[in-house]
């Protein structure tokens, strides 16, 4: 099979390969993929209408079986089995991360609809310092797995090839950081002929990660953007590159400008990014024909709202507010996930799915300027492209006027190099900050294996 060949369906009946007959899991996946192939081309108005029909079922369930949501839904004017209008929708209160933490199990439904399967616990990585815990049903996870397959198919991946994954591995140790799986995911293996997947712990040293990539020699690599950046640096230092790599997929962190071009220049392969969260599932996938993102409108309503809670127009940046459509065990209705994104215009590809031009990251990744303005700084540019002996770094905003640059270096910078880096940071940040330097042995990742090259201790208080 080549990358141009259609993926081979896995048949559940021995000696019947064409046409293949899927088992129950594969049939469910194929049913959803069949519908996705049609709904993504609907006009935006049709997508919105279908979302509202599903929202009516979710809100009727919530107002009956989720006590914590009943007052807000009633006050907004929604009645069980009633029609949901745009006016009612805009009046429904927005849930913050702190609300979800505080309400806890009061957000769990007292019963689930029949056929939604068992509940499964989840907990977010806590990269925002406010981890979210809750429950999801098997039917919610079904959509998660189907969106994973949609992503593979959109990007034209060869599903029988080798997939390498570098991510946080729960409970990993130096002796248990390398795992081989028979398929990329359980759903992929149940639906299509599928190659093996190899998993490595992101908390291992980058030199060990690169050794692992060269040994496993994957066709595709899934990694955090920060991890990919470190791999590229280490590979350049050693003068090596993966042998058979065709593409890299990134997830879990903000994708900074320049990483796509760096990957293409250094390793000669494209980068495909995606946007998801453990509590909501897939929110957006990179368009197959462009570098912006399509909202996964069949599984979630994603709103980009300004400070007055009005929908942002194309080109405007706002808060990401999400409503997963199929988790009836814990309905997160108009949930402010803590991210910011830029709304985009309709895509020239013709798909009617909403567009996100950029995902800008969490509130804590927002720089507060001395005059009260805000921006999302790209601190990688002044540090990574200055030719300095910096192995790893993190910039922290301490006050509205002060930044601390934590550096892991091959050698301490000279006073002239510090002055030049200070000036470059201020140029990219858009203000004259007091920049101090702290030399450290490492910049640790979060509990979930993620890494922030910039965060503000001021943004949450501004």
- Helix orientation angle between 259-267 and 225-238, rounded to the nearest 10 degrees: 30
Q: Please check whether residue 410 lies inside any domain of the structure.
A: yes
Q: How many C-alpha atoms does 255 have within 13 Å on its Cβ side?
A: 27
Q: What is the pLDDT of residue 83?
A: 94
Q: What is the pLDDT of residue 93?
A: 97
Q: Please check whether residue 74 lies inside any domain of the structure.
A: no
Q: Radius of gyration over alpha carbons of the chain, in Å? A: 23
Q: Tell me, what CATH number does 394's domain have?
A: 3.30.300.30
Angle, alpha carbons 172-174-177 (nearest 5°): 50
Q: Please check whether residue 162 lies inside any domain of the structure.
A: no
Q: Please check whether residue 267 lies inside any domain of the structure.
A: no
Cβ neighbours of 113 (radius 10 Å): 13
Q: Please check whether residue 422 lies inside any domain of the structure.
A: yes
Q: Which domain holds residue 433?
A: 367-461
First to last CA, the chain: 55
| pTM score, whole prediction | 0.86
Task: In whole angstroms, give the CA distance from residue 71 to residue 264.
Answer: 52
Q: What is the pLDDT of residue 221?
A: 98
Indicate the DSSP class of residue 83.
Answer: P
Task: In whole angstroms, give the CA distance from residue 162 to residue 80.
Answer: 49
Report the DSSP pairing between strands 374-375 and 367-368.
Answer: antiparallel
Q: What is the pLDDT of residue 384?
A: 66
Structure tokens at 259: 């990483």
Divide the 462 residues of the chain into consecutive groups of 10 and give the mean pLDDT of each group. Answer: 71 85 92 97 97 98 96 96 95 95 95 96 70 93 96 96 89 60 93 95 90 96 92 93 96 88 96 96 97 98 96 96 98 96 96 95 83 80 73 88 89 89 88 91 75 79 51
Secondary structure E strands in 312-401: 317-324, 335-343, 355-362, 367-368, 374-375, 390-399
Task: In whole angstroms, give the CA distance from residue 405 to residue 439.
Answer: 8
Q: Is 16 left (phi over 0), alpha (psi -120 to 50) or beta?
A: beta
Nearest to 3 by CA among 150, 160, 146: 160
Which residues neighbour 96 within 8 Å (Cβ) at sequence distance 6 or greater?
Answer: 336
Q: CB–CB of 382/427 below 8 Å?
A: yes
Q: What is the pLDDT of residue 131?
A: 79
Q: Please check whether residue 229 lies inside any domain of the structure.
A: no
Task: In whole angstroms, give the CA distance from residue 135 to residue 353.
Answer: 27
Q: What is the pLDDT of residue 164?
A: 97
Q: Please check whether residue 429 lies inside any domain of the structure.
A: yes
Number of domains in the chain: 1
Q: What is the pLDDT of residue 450?
A: 72
Q: Please check whether residue 441 lies inside any domain of the structure.
A: yes
């Amino acid at each position: 099979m080549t990358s141009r060949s259609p993926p081979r369906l896995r048949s559940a009946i021995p000696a019947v390969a064409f046409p293949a007959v899927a088992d129950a899991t594969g049939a469910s996946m194929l049913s959803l993929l069949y519908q996705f192939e049609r709904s993504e081309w609907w006009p935006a108005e049709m997508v919105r209408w279908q979302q509202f029909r599903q929202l009516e079922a979710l809100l009727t369930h919530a107002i009956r079986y989720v006590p914590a949501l009943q007052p807000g839904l009633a006050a907004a004017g929604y009645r069980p089995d009633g029609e949901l209008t745009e006016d009612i929708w805009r009046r429904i209160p927005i849930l913050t991360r702190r609300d979800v933490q505080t309400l806890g199990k009061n957000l769990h439904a007292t019963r689930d609809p029949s056929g939604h399967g068992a509940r499964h616990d989840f907990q977010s990585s806590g990269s925002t310092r406010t981890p979210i815990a809750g429950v999801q049903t098997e039917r919610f996870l079904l959509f998660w797995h189907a969106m994973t397959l949609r992503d593979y198919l959109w990007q034209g991946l060869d599903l029988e090839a080798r997939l390498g994954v570098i991510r946080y591995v729960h409970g990993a140790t130096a002796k248990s950081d390398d795992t081989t799986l028979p398929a990329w995911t359980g759903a992929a293996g149940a639906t299509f002929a599928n190659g093996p997947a190899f998993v490595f712990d992101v908390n291992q040293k980058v030199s060990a990660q690169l050794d692992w990539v060269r040994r496993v020699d994957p066709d595709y690599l899934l990694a955090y953007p920060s991890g990919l950046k470190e791999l590229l640096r280490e590979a350049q230092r050693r003068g090596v590159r993966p042998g058979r790599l065709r593409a890299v997929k990134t997830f879990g962190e903000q994708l900074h400008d320049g990483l796509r071009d760096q990957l293409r220049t250094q390793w000669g392969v494209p980068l495909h990014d995606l946007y998801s969260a453990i509590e909501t599932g897939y929110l957006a996938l990179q368009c197959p024909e462009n570098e912006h993102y399509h909202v996964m409108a069949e599984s979630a309503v994603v709103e980009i709202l300004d400070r007055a809670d009005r929908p942002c127009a194309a080109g405007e940046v706002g808060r990401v507010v999400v409503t997963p459509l199929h988790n009836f065990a814990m309905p997160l209705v108009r949930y402010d996930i803590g991210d910011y994104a830029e709304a985009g215009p309709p895509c020239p590809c013709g798909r009617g799915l909403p567009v996100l031009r950029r995902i800008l990251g969490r509130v804590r990744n927002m720089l507060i300027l001395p005059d009260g303005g805000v921006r999302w700084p790209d601190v990688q540019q002044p540090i990574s492209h200055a030719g300095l002996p910096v192995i790893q770094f993190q910039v922290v905003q301490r006050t509205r006027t002060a930044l601390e640059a934590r550096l892991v270096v091959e050698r301490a910078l000279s006073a002239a190099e510090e002055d030049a880096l200070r000036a470059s940071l201020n140029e990219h940040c858009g203000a004259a900050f007091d920049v101090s330097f702290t030399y450290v042995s490492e910049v640790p990742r979060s509990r979930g294996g993620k890494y922030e090259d910039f965060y503000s201790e001021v943004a949450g208080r501004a």
